Amino acid sequence: MVSIEDYGKFETAWCPGCGNFGILKAIKQALVNLGKEPSEVLIASGIGQSSKLPHYLKCNAFNGLHGRSLPPATGAKVANHELTVLAVTGDGDCYGEGGNHFLHTVRRNPDITMIVHDNQIYGLTKGQASPTSEVGMKTKVQTHGVFNMPLNPLSLAISLDCSFVSRGYAGNIPHLTGLIEKAIQHKGLSLVDVLQPCVSFNKLNTFKWYSERVYEMEDTGYELDDRVKAFERSLEWGDEIPLGVFYVNEKPSFEDHQEVLRSGPLYRNVPRTEMVNELMDGLI
Ligand SMILES: Cc1ncc(C[n+]2csc(CCOP(=O)(O)OP(=O)(O)O)c2C)c(N)n1
Ligand code: SF4
Ligand SMILES: [Mg+2]
């Protein structure tokens, strides 16, 4: 039986007290609770403090370019759809530099779980505003305060009909673990946006700030496939910030549309070199 120890223990480059530790713990626990062996899991990431996460647990990993966690995750899923594929990314990585990939991956709906470390700041590059930073937040670059409107990841995902949309908090590990489990079990693209305090550079959205505001949605009060109601709920942000699953729409995944995958994962196909050679000869 798989255990937490199977996922290893590594020294990290994260600041003591960073919210990333809670997310790492929740991911490992969720994988163990689902009985996933490290060899059955692949984590793709981009660039950022968040994107270092695959360095800190033992499983298959791909650390790509900034904003590019989703393209290799999608490629890996198509090459071997038996793998459990996670894309671990940051608010800058996913909603800024990788924003275009986010939009189009939602449209494709591959069976991938996206875990976004949303610390509302660019942590790795030492504290510039990110797409989710609050208006008025002062940084070393935004010295007069942020004036761009923050992007609401949940509303955006719901408006695009993302098949699973949720929010967790790095300060509530049991709840986050449960969310990640549900997200992995969901077939199709699952978004878990995780509120993650950056103790070094975000002095506004601290553990105290989040803890005073977040609450677990016991019952959303609407059917989870009600897109309009889910969108309305996703707008709730301020003195009260809801955590949990906001929206679920079961629909065929990207892999379901690929007929070639019905006979098994691509990587098991024996290459038919004579066919390729014939095609190449025809080009000469
Ligand atoms: C194309 C490109 N642009 C900018 C950078 C510099 N850069 C590296 S990480 C980063 C921000 C990371 O922020 P986020 O994704 O929120 O991750 P965090 O460090 O906060 O976890 C930036 C701007 C880069 N590496 N590549
Ligand atoms: S800079 Fe912020 S996000 Fe990065 S490790 Fe330190 S506390 Fe965490
Ligand atoms: Mg960030």
pLDDT tens digits, 218-240: 889 999 999 999 999 999 999 99
Domain ranges, residue 89: 4-283
Ligand 1 pocket, CB under 6 A? 47-50, 66, 90-93, 97, 117, 119, 121-125, 130
> Which protein residue's CA is at the shortest distance from atom 5 of ligand 2?
14
Compute the mean pLDDT over every residue in the chain, rounded to the nearest whole number.
Answer: 97
Q: Express each pLDDT in 158-199 by its tens digit.
A: 999 999 999 999 999 999 999 999 999 999 999 999 999 999
Structural domain total, the chain: 1
Give CA–CA dist 206/21, Å, rounded: 15
What are 197-218's pLDDT values in tens digits? 999 999 999 999 999 999 999 8
The CATH number given to whatever domain includes residue 24 is: 3.40.50.970
> Largest Cα–Cα distance of the chain, in whole Å?
69
Query: Which atom of ligand 1 lies nearest, measured to the CA of 198?
Result: 20
Measure the CA angle with vertex 25, ends 21 and 28; round to 5°.
Answer: 140
Length of the chain: 284
CA distance 284 to 157: 47
For the cut 90, the answer to whether the pLDDT of residue 271 exceeds it is no
- Per-residue pLDDT of 104-122, as tens digits, reads 999 999 999 999 999 999 9
β pairing state of 41-45 and 214-216: unpaired
DSSP code for 280 = H
